Amino acid sequence: MMEKGTQMLSQSFAATTLEVLNPNRSVIVDMIMVQILAAIITLSALLLLKGNSLGSQNASYILVALFGSVLFLSAVYSRITRG
């Protein structure tokens, strides 16, 4: 009796581990989208809140990073909508 309970526990643990370590493709794409959106929000907040105290070179770097993030987000979104 104890052996059956242990076997069932190990099978459910193995199934859970496989689900966590091998997520669906949509979950991975969602995680990438969240990271890109977080970068866009952070860079925008930096420009809005600390724009006066930033030097022109730092502001340029932030604008380039913001532009690149928006381009990357649009590329990922177009792949999602395409198929």
Would you say residue 5 lies in a domain?
no
pLDDT per position as a tens digit, 45-71: 999 999 889 899 999 999 999 999 999
Would you say residue 7 lies in a domain?
no
Would you say residue 31 lies in a domain?
yes
- What does the block give as tokens for 16? 């859970």
Q: What DSSP line would sit under 20-83, residue for residue?
A: HHS--HHHHHHHHHHHHHHHHHHHHHHHHHHTTTS-HHHHHHHHHHHHHHHHHHHHHHHHHHH-
Would you say residue 58 lies in a domain?
yes
Would you say residue 76 lies in a domain?
yes
| Angle of CA points 31, 33, 36, to nearest 5° | 110
> What pLDDT was estimated at residue 7?
61
Would you say residue 66 lies in a domain?
yes
Confidence of residue 3 (pLDDT cuts 50, 70, 90): low
- The domain total for the chain is 1
Would you say residue 13 lies in a domain?
no
H helix or E strand, kind and range, residue 11? helix 2-21
pTM of the model: 0.66
Domain that holds residue 78: 23-82
